[in-house]
Structure 1
Amino acid sequence: MKLTRSLVAFALATTPLALLGSASVAQTAPTNAPAETGAPTVVLVHGAWADGSSWAKVIPLLQAKGIRVLGVQNPLTSLADDVAATKRVLADVNGPVVLVGHSWAGTVITEAGTDPKVKALVYVAAFANKEGQTGGDLVGAYPKPPALGTVWDDGKGFLRQTEQGMIDNFAADLPREEARTLFVTQGPLAASTFGDKVTAPAWRTVPSWYIVSANDRVISPQMERDLAAQMKAKTTVLQSSHVSLLSHPKEVAAVIEDAVASVAARK
């Protein structure tokens, strides 16, 4: 034991500091960190009652086209917290960003998308608030969607979808087994988020794309159409449930690719 410790001590004492520094960097630098380049990076932001794995079918399609992709893991505790999580990822990107948000994350990218790196916004069945507007304001302006009737309040300030709600409303066009998995992996949403206000909507100055889910039972499809028109977004309508990113990943990826191509062409 003493001999082994002596050898380790000798190795550390005789190894040049420069090598130790480079070894430290090699151990801590993320292997997927984007290189410095002008090519757009796609940053994916998940919504309520979900996590980053909700993009699992879209990510490989984008990567197959040579597009760099990063994902945000939202805590879903407040708009400020989710925006902070998104900005941490944006800070790691060198070059232009196509910022994509699903569902509640539409509010997040609306607030976080004012970052100068963000050159395009893609909304997937998502909120797109005006100044001072909350998610609750948007939901309340339209007939109550079925998914709000299958919400479980844990009594501690967080909301979840019930298993049946996930099957019938949230992911109605996915196989039952897949919807049940989403029930297990869902991220609980702080009820207080429905009262969080957007300050400066990024879509007023950033070119936007919108994917409407025509069969959405979580957010009003009419609201989605109205928001897309309000933003003058390039709009695609899919015959999909709320989770088009899982039931129609090719179509969703194609819209994101279009946004990426548009950003690249502007250079």
Structure 2
Amino acid sequence: MNTLLKKILTSALLLGSLFSLQAAHAAPVQDLKGKNVVLVHGAFADGSSWDKVIPLLEARGLHVVAVQNPLSSLSDDVAATRRVIEQQDGPVVLVGHSWGGVVVTQAGNEDKVKSLVYVAAFAPDSGQSINDIVKGKPAPAWASALQKDSAGFLTLSTDAVIHQFAQDLPPAQARLIASTQGPWFAGCTDDKVTTAAWHTKPSTFVVAGMDHMIDPRLQEAMASQMGATVTRVNASHVAMVSQPKAVADAIIAAASKVQ
């Protein structure tokens, strides 16, 4: 074999090895296959609020479903969440944002649920409602911006979404959230959890340090009561939109511990 041919073959082998290494590096680590994540949105939102988090979870091999809650009562939202849980093949990490935290606290008692993740959420104890949790605390500024329709469903004003709900997002994106928000039935704040699943399931709490909807100090207190693993992010109430990687990382960490 002449010298030129040897050089060509050597270069081809080196190039092939380089492409193989690059492909291996680019390929997602599918190490969490067989595990499921069920995402539960909060008030004034829908399942699309998780659209930045879902691809990050799927890149790790997780099977992900976002629930579409009717936001009409705790029992209705729990029923919708349970139906999704029932459809999963294998263990479930159940994630709730905001009002969704109340929902997962109840729905998390399902046997398939192995771990709970709260994202800037309410985490009531057994026999508690949101109104029980906030009783005696000053009303937040956004409460005065609520608009109630004839059926008793609440929406936030665009101004409240921009300045209180999603203040760390570009105004155009916040306006889009305001325009597509899911109305929330006012009576939900009185609905009580019967049995809080976090007493028997490991929990993680993503505390949003710039949250104007649920006081970060209240989030810290709830996380402490639960004995939750805490992740802190410098984000508004919609941490999964403004800080999706931090939220996804917390969910992935919880999923990695599930057997």
Q: Give TM class, smaller chain.
A: 0.7 to 0.9
Aligned to 2:203: 208
Q: What is the CA–CA distance in structure 2 between the aligned matches of 1:39 and 1:147, rounded to whole Å?
A: 41
How is 1:1-267 mapped onto 2 (pairs within 5 angstroms)? 39-263=34-258, 267=259
Q: 1:181 to 1:229 in 2, by over 3 A?
A: same
Q: What does the per-residue CA deviation read over 1:123-182, in whole Å, with 9 as the maximum and x for residues that have no partner?
A: 001011111111111123433222212211123211000000110100000000000000
Post-superposition shift, 1:38?
7.8
Does structure 2 conserve the Cα–Cα contact (< 8 Å) formed by 1:38 and 1:96?
no
Whether the 8 Å contact between 2:94 and 2:104 is mirrored in structure 1 is yes
Q: For 2:147, what is the secondary structure of its paired residue?
A: strand
Q: Is the 8 A contact 2:33 2:63 kept in 1?
A: no
Aligned equivalents of 2:113, 2:44: Cα separation in 1: 25
Q: Which amino acid aligns with 2:55?
A: P
| Partner SS for 2:257 | helix
Distance 1:141 1:205 in 2: 29
Secondary structure of 1:198's aligned partner: coil
Q: Distance in 1 between matches of 2:149 and 2:131?
A: 19
Q: Tell me, in whole angstroms, the C-alpha distance in 1 between the residues paired with 2:160 and 2:132.
A: 23
Contact 1:142 1:223 in 2 (8 A): no
The secondary structure found in structure 2 opposite 1:211 is: strand
Show structure 2 runs of 5+ residues with no match.
Answer: 1-31
For structure 1, the residue ranges without an aligned partner over 5 or more in a row are 1-36
TM-score norm. by structure 1 comes to 0.83
Quote the Cα distance in structure 2 between the aligned partners of 1:52 and 1:109.
14
Moved more, 135-144 or 244-253: 135-144
CA distance in 1, matches of 2:244, 2:53: 5
CA distance in 2, matches of 1:214, 1:104: 18
Q: CA deviation at 1:39?
A: 2.3
Describe the superposition over 1:63-88 as per-residue Cα deviations: whole angstroms up to 9, x where unpaired. Answer: 11211101100000000000000000
Secondary structure at 1:246 match in 2: helix
Taking the aligned partners of 1:74 and 1:141, their CA distance within structure 2 comes to 29
- SS of equivalent to 1:53: helix
Segment of structure 1 superposing worse, 191-200 or 133-142? 133-142
Instruction: Quote the RMSD (CA, aligned, Å).
Output: 1.2
Number of corresponding residues: 228
How far apart in 1 are the matches of 2:167 and 2:150?
27
CA distance in structure 1 between the partners assigned to 2:250 and 2:182 by the alignment: 26
Measure, in 2, the Cα distance between the counterparts of 1:146 and 1:173.
17
SS of residue paired to 2:70: coil
TM-score, L = length of structure 2: 0.86
Q: Give the share of equivalent positions with the same residue, in percent.
A: 50
